[in-house]
Chain A
Amino acid sequence: MKPDARLDAMLADREVIVCVGCGGSGKTTVAAALALEAARRGRQALVLTIDPARRLADAMGVESLGNRPQTIPRATLDALGVTPSGSLSAMMLDMKRTFDDLVERFAESEEIRDRVLGNSIYQHVSNALAGSVEYSAMEKVFEMHESGAFDLIVVDTPPAQHALDFLEAPQRLLEFLDSRLVKMLIHPAFKAGRFGFRLFHRATQRVLQVLERITGIGFLEDLSEFLIAFDAMSVGFRDRALRVRSLLLGPRSTFVLVSGPGRISARNASDFLDRLETYGVSLAGVLVNRVRLWPSQGAPPADEPPRSVDLERLRDALRASEGADYPAELAADAAAKAATRYAGWVRADARSAQPLRERIEAQGRFWGCIPEFERDVHDLSGLGCVADRIAGRDEEP
């Protein structure tokens, strides 16, 4: 991978880099490597990870952080080539805590705070169910950005079924609070014991009747109580959600799409790209992770059976080498087969990424490949290697 001016500019200028992509694509590793590379270039970088490999977390010192950034020690950074002016911190999102913090911040009184935190629906919503991880992650990015302690935040987004759940989460929450049904549920009449559905618009009446019939009355009352308490905080919440959105979609932020190798990954990445475009998100480029690359200049050789004259040459060389206590003929065949097998993977990876690559390059965005390493990346020196490749150093695999 050659150094790329667009990637350099991104690492120099942006304040937030959001790594998006499907689960299993290695977003966490790429996000951490980007933060390390930015730190090497003198920035105060923070990587916010959602779901890191435990050993990667250990290596970065984010094991038991309690939702606060942890700075990588200076000596470690020196060994990784981080300039004295740069720094690297890491943190792991604690979703429940982030959500509780928000409630604490925006609750107008202790009573409201306790009502929300104690409500059984809140506990389920904030703890287990879809959407809240995404919301908390974006909230945390905003909080860290506001804190001013870092000049670059690299975010590893949660693996989501729908590509951009995390961008949509604040909006969904707002629409939810604004929806007519919710307004009905938080209507004082609803809490006044046996509520008359008659007060409401006919269509809403019908929906409420259906909901009541299916869920039973107790559930709607719990829901109503939760929403009333939540609504009391909604001004702060609403304002915050809008600011999160404008930070992420504004000029200070950019997105990097991380994809795995293989046709299915490429197809998923391509769908992702469609969604990003409809959002008007600023995409800096694509990094394809764990790609099999041919270990010398140029493309792998064509898929043809090896010529016997070449095999003989290899066999002779093997036979003549030191300590050759194996059948040289078998060895030469096996070596040629290994090369053919590996070349097949290299070609398959290149082929499956080709349509996406053409699309990205036609848009003038950067395209980078990170090779699959012989070992899993699970420590800072492994991250250093990934960062080298992203930055276009160390061409030899």
Chain B
Amino acid sequence: MAADAPRSLLEHRLVIVTGKGGTGKTTVSATLALAASRAGLRVLVAEMGPDEQIPRLLDPRAPEVGYAGCAILPGLQAMRIDPFEALAEYLGLQLGVRAVVDAVVRNNAFRQLMTAAPGWRELITLGKIWHLAQLDSEDPPGRQFDLIVVDAPATGHGVAFLDVPRVVVSAVRAGPLHAHTERVERMLEDPDQTLVLPVALAEELPAREIAELTDRVRNEMGISIDRVIVNAVVGPPFPAAIPDLDAALARLDGDLPLGMLPSPRVLTRCARYLRSRHELNRRFAADIQHTTGLPIVELPRLPDGVESLEQISALAGALLADPVFLE
């Protein structure tokens, strides 16, 4: 591989999937995890939100996986990082004495303080991810996880949570917290290890936001970002021989009875909708490529939404077949 070629998505240790609400970020996280596990990697997919969604997406009968995590499919583990549990684990590792940790974590005043205190949730979650990335496995030997996929929170803060370590390193000038946070920061800023994978829709507002996000991650945060997933792209609506089907339908008598078929007026509306969504998606997919200067990976909009393993498998197939995905 040439020195300046981007690494394969699957060669990173940590892929942080980000995107605004409604872009299908969680679906993409599940899809990426599934695709990677099918490619033979040991994969962990971690959710940060208050609700678990990925296990149920991959298997409707999946149990709650919680903080302990659970294998959902061969080579694919899922977990949800709860900040209070991560904090208890961290304090346990630091202090060694479980009884002290329990007393502190259960202490009312401490919980009150932590409920109000900003930033630590993001920090401890990133710390936990760092820790997971260091875990070794004995059988087979090597890292316990080849790839950790993080479904980042869909907050208005965008990628601000990735900035928390930097803020903390500057606000806390010494001590173990400073040292540990620096390690997390180093992992995030190492392009061989960490990649931010933004998910966007090919529509006006998301296209604009993705350009801002890309800019910020690259220039202000110094975290690697090298491709964009454009999700739910509506494919060509009509056969190539009839690019103007909607216009042809519009020339018919709108009320002409067509038996069980909808009237030409309704057919025109349906055709026009498909065409306008397709054209809008095409325009803004090109726009995203242009404004971010990054290659894009397109995922198709599936007819019935994405709600089952079958559909995720179809998307994972599309991902694995995309040269930009693996390049």
Interface residues of A (CB under 8 A from B): 22-25, 50-51, 53-55, 120-121, 124-125, 128-133, 158-162, 172-173, 175-176, 179-182, 203-204, 206-207, 210, 213-219, 222, 260, 262-265, 271, 292, 294-296, 301, 304, 306-307, 309-311, 313-314, 317-318, 321-324, 326-327, 330-331, 334-336, 338-339, 341-345, 348, 352, 374-376, 378, 397
Could you list 16 examples of A-B contacts with CB < 8 Å? A22-B21, A51-B156, A128-B119, A128-B163, A160-B156, A173-B116, A179-B112, A206-B100, A213-B175, A215-B175, A295-B265, A306-B261, A310-B260, A327-B242, A335-B271, A397-B269
* Contact residue among B100, B104, B265 (Cβ-Cβ distance under 8 Å from A296): B265
Q: How far is the CA of A396 from the CA of B277 in the complex (A)?
A: 19
Nearest chain B residue, comparing its CB with the CB of A56: B205
* Contact residue among B113, B203, B272 (Cβ-Cβ distance under 8 Å from A181): B113
A375 / chain B contacts, CB cutoff of 8 Å: 276, 280
**B187 to A: closest C-beta gap in Å:** 19
Does B153 have its Cβ within 8 Å of any Cβ on chain A? yes
Contact status A161-B100, CB under 8 Å = no
Does B173 have its Cβ within 8 Å of any Cβ on chain A? yes
Interface residues of B (CB under 8 A from A): 20-23, 26, 49-51, 53, 91, 94-95, 100, 103-104, 107-110, 112-113, 115-119, 121-122, 153-157, 160, 163-164, 167, 170-178, 203-205, 208, 237-239, 241-242, 245, 248-249, 251-253, 256, 258-267, 269-274, 276-277, 280, 303-305, 307
Contact status A130-B118, CB under 8 Å = yes
B167 / chain A contacts, CB cutoff of 8 Å: 124, 128-129
Q: Given known contacts A175-B115, A219-B171, A330-B241, is B155 in contact with A214 (CB within 8 Å)?
A: no
B49 / chain A contacts, CB cutoff of 8 Å: 161
Looking at A214, A260, A262, the one whose CB has the most chain B CB atoms below 10 A away is: A214
* Contact residue among B95, B153, B252, B259 (Cβ-Cβ distance under 8 Å from A161): B153
Q: How far is the CA of A336 from the CA of B260 in the complex (A)?
A: 11
Q: How far is the CA of A121 from the CA of B171 in the complex (A)?
A: 7
A374 / chain B contacts, CB cutoff of 8 Å: 272-273, 276-277
Q: How far is the CA of A348 from the CA of B311 in the complex (A)?
A: 15
Contact status A216-B117, CB under 8 Å = no
Contact status A321-B261, CB under 8 Å = no
Contact status A318-B208, CB under 8 Å = no
Nearest chain B residue, comparing its CB with the CB of A318: B248
* Contact residue among A23, A175, A176, A203 (Cβ-Cβ distance under 8 Å from B107): A203
Nearest chain A residue, comparing its CB with the CB of B153: A161
Please name 15 further chain A to chain B contacts, defined as beta carbons within 8 Å, in addition to the given A264-B26, A294-B266, sorted by A numbering: A53-B205, A133-B156, A296-B266, A310-B259, A313-B259, A317-B253, A317-B258, A317-B264, A331-B242, A339-B270, A339-B271, A374-B276, A375-B280, A378-B204, A397-B269
Nearest chain B residue, comparing its CB with the CB of A171: B116
Nearest chain A residue, comparing its CB with the CB of B247: A323
How many A-B contacts at CB < 8 Å in the complex?
253
Contact status A159-B21, CB under 8 Å = yes
Contact status B239-A324, CB under 8 Å = no
A314 / chain B contacts, CB cutoff of 8 Å: 258, 261, 264, 267
Contact status A322-B267, CB under 8 Å = no
Q: Given known contacts A24-B22, A215-B177, A341-B303, is B109 in contact with A204 (CB within 8 Å)?
A: yes
**A132 to B: closest C-beta gap in Å:** 7
Q: How far is the CA of A302 from the CA of B108 in the complex (A)?
A: 58
Nearest chain B residue, comparing its CB with the CB of A339: B270
A378 / chain B contacts, CB cutoff of 8 Å: 204-205
* Contact residue among B173, B248, B249, B259 (Cβ-Cβ distance under 8 Å from A307): B259
Q: How far is the CA of A317 from the CA of B269 in the complex (A)?
A: 17
* Contact residue among A339, A341, A376 (Cβ-Cβ distance under 8 Å from B205): A376
**B68 to A: closest C-beta gap in Å:** 22
Looking at A51, A55, A181, A344, the one whose CB has the most chain B CB atoms below 10 A away is: A181
Looking at A24, A125, A131, the one whose CB has the most chain B CB atoms below 10 A away is: A24
Contact status B113-A216, CB under 8 Å = no
Nearest chain A residue, comparing its CB with the CB of B95: A210
Q: How far is the CA of A95 from the CA of B227 in the complex (A)?
A: 31
Contact status A214-B103, CB under 8 Å = no
Contact status B174-A216, CB under 8 Å = yes
Contact status B172-A24, CB under 8 Å = no
Q: How far is the CA of A352 from the CA of B305 in the complex (A)?
A: 10
Contact status B172-A219, CB under 8 Å = yes
* Contact residue among B178, B204, B253, B269 (Cβ-Cβ distance under 8 Å from A216): B178
B109 / chain A contacts, CB cutoff of 8 Å: 179-181, 203-204, 207
Q: How far is the CA of A58 from the CA of B262 in the complex (A)?
A: 40
A204 / chain B contacts, CB cutoff of 8 Å: 107, 109
Q: How far is the CA of A330 from the CA of B243 in the complex (A)?
A: 12
B170 / chain A contacts, CB cutoff of 8 Å: 120
Contact status B156-A23, CB under 8 Å = yes
B260 / chain A contacts, CB cutoff of 8 Å: 301, 304, 306-307, 310
Looking at A179, A310, A321, the one whose CB has the most chain B CB atoms below 10 A away is: A179
Contact status B175-A219, CB under 8 Å = yes
**A303 to B: closest C-beta gap in Å:** 11
* Contact residue among A206, A216, A301, A397 (Cβ-Cβ distance under 8 Å from B173): A216
A339 / chain B contacts, CB cutoff of 8 Å: 261-262, 266-267, 270-271
A162 / chain B contacts, CB cutoff of 8 Å: 50
Looking at A132, A310, A334, A341, the one whose CB has the most chain B CB atoms below 10 A away is: A334
